[in-house]
Structure 1
Amino acid sequence: MTKSFKEALKARRTFYQIENKSTLSDKEIRDLIRFAVEFVPSAFNSQTTRVALLTGKAHEKLWNIVKNVLRERVPAEVFGKTEEKIDGCFACGYGTILYFEDMAIVRSLQESFPTYKDNFPIWAEQTDAMHQLAVWTMLEDAGMGASLQHYNPLIDDEVRKAWNLPGDWKLVAQMPFGVPVAQPGSKEVMSLDERVFEFTD
């Protein structure tokens, strides 16, 4: 990392204004993702997270899927603004990272450990979130900007069909990324005294 972990985590922000450029080669992006998938922890070492990297035409295809699905659901008179946001904030980037959870493994764990049955879907989401943060922070450290989007579950079926992905894969989030062309605004942070507590007995 060019920054310390703390510095990179502090600098990580949501970037909506990105362009179709990358500070990393495609191999470096793949290696970054593979590093996160290998070392991010999961409950019971279940390793339920699945990640798909979309660049080039695949990246374009994803955001066309999103627009086509939303076109059928969003009133025509306001769809223009929706399309403008997608094209100007997400589709304009270099690529998109898709995060999934393999629900077949989750169901298997539920059957094997019925005492924790209700927890396994929650733990899977937590694992997925850790992967997202790890990748997002490493992208920031490499000079890239990203955001986290949630057009699932509306697009799940079309995404699985487009790339022939297993039906048990549940789409959790989409992370468009690229080189930032503008910095995000300031962010309000609640007082840490209202969020962090310490007890000694």
Structure 2
Amino acid sequence: MTPDIWEALRLSLIVAGRATAWGLVAALAFAWLLARYRFPGRTLLDALLHAPLILPPVVVGFVLLLLFGTHGPIGGWLDRHFGYRLVFTSAGASLAAGVCAFPLMLRAVRLAIEGVDPKLEEAARSLGAGPIDRACTITLPIALPGLIAGAVVGFAAALGEFGAVITFAANIPGETQTLPLAIYAALQVPGGEAIAMRLSLVSFAAALVALLLSEVLLRAGKRAAGR
């Protein structure tokens, strides 16, 4: 493979990995909130959290641009106070990919938490276990396969995200040009079909490796959960 293809693969794995890491943490927090608590506005919050799933990715990228751009309320504040910019950076690409993948992770993690019998948590509480103890010793171990499934689905979605990334982070070689964006760029050049084909094969191989690894992790998670 050429250095450009290696660079696109490296960026894709970094962007998808970071998107999955922060997205899974957020998904776990919101999934726990939605699965274990009832409060006013819960249905509205649920709908807002799943909005990226039904919105066109370009719209998601545009909303992120409005919020996190240098003139946006969040992006402008970060730029003025910390000199930190997300737009047109690899971190911004991770944010865009993670937002689009987030509803998929949220759904998987929420179903896993809802599948844990609350009576087990009640029994642990009656024995003196606090909220953190119950979460770490009861809920999370049992829900572990669902968490792994959420991470796998999120990683796969982030790895292939195109619309939100190119809208918010642009298509900058060596900075934000992931495999899908590199394939798009190659197809814009006369005679670039051969490069696009090689990039597509690399993308397919990366996805296949991720699927095989996910199967190993899922089996390990099920064994750890005693299933």
TM over 0.5: no
Higher relative CO (Cα under 8 Å, sequence separation at least 6) belongs to 1
Q: TM-score scaled to structure 1, two decimals?
A: 0.33
Bigger Rg, structure 1 or 2: 2
